[in-house]
């Protein structure tokens, strides 16, 4: 559930494009609250609060591809570390599309040529369970401004998926214009797990509410 949104600003119409430099490192943490409900009701069956620290380092740059080392964990559940950290390496292309789905990683896939203020685009969205594969997001670059002495960009996000479950999500991500580090972000998801009902209808078997909060 983390955000490596890698951006660079040019002077031509405030174009934001993915860009990492060799040995560049990003550190952040994704905090999540997952609430499980039985059936279509609002009766809470369980609540899970956890945090996942993430470290991303560019270890090789060749052509339009960057090899990125990702260290995730250890997971923090109810204030305690659980398990061990894991290290994987992924290739990221020029629009920030990854050759895999790192656990807990939330990222933005940009359109070729980058994005300008006011521009919206559709791209794949990735997250960690209970989010499933095959989700699609509509991103929009809302505005840029100076915050705490630093230039940042605001992205709105709307997520949709209708595969093994029905997923709807929305929120906002705030990223640094120059260094690409995520300053903050909040996303909320409603996830409905479906089962066959009478005839050809599908009914809600259970549903989840999921909130991501990203911090540095």
How do residues 55-81 score in pLDDT, each as one tens digit?
888 888 877 677 888 888 898 988 889
Question: Domain 8-215 carries which CATH code?
Answer: 2.30.230
Specify the pLDDT at position 19: 67
How do residues 25-51 score in pLDDT, each as one tens digit?
878 888 889 898 877 777 888 888 989
Whether residue 121 contacts residue 115, with contact meaning beta carbons closer than 8 Å, is answered with yes
How do residues 106-128 score in pLDDT, each as one tens digit?
566 767 777 788 989 888 887 77
Q: CB neighbours of 188 closer than 8 A, spacing ≥ 6?
A: 169, 170, 171, 209, 210, 211, 212
Is the per-residue pLDDT at 183 higher than 90?
Answer: no
Is the per-residue pLDDT at 136 higher than 70?
Answer: yes
Whether residue 98 contacts residue 107, with contact meaning beta carbons closer than 8 Å, is answered with yes
Is the per-residue pLDDT at 16 higher than 50?
Answer: yes
């Amino acid at each position: 559930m983390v955000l490596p949104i890698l951006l660079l600003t040019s002077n031509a119409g405030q174009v934001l494009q993915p860009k990492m430099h060799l040995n560049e490192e990003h550190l952040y943490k994704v905090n999540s609250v997952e609430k499980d409900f039985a059936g279509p009701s609002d009766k809470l069956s369980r609540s899970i609060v956890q945090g996942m620290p993430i470290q991303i380092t560019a270890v090789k740059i060749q052509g339009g591809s960057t090899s990125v080392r990702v260290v995730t964990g250890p997971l923090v559940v109810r204030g305690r570390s659980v398990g061990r950290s894991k290290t994987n390496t992924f290739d990221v292309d020029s629009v920030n599309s990854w050759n895999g789905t790192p656990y807990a990683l939330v990222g933005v896939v940009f359109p070729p040529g980058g994005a300008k203020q006011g521009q919206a685009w559709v791209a794949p969205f990735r997250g960690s369970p209970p989010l499933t594969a095959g989700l699609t997001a509509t991103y929009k670059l809302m505005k840029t401004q100076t915050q705490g002495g630093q230039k940042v960009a605001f992205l709105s996000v709307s997520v949709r998926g209708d595969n093994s479950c029905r997923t709807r999500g929305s929120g906002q991500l705030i990223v640094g214009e120059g260094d690409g580090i995520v300053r903050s972000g909040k996303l909320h998801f409603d996830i409905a797990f479906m089962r066959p009902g009478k005839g050809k209808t599908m009914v809600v078997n259970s549903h989840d509410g999921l909130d991501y909060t990203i911090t540095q």
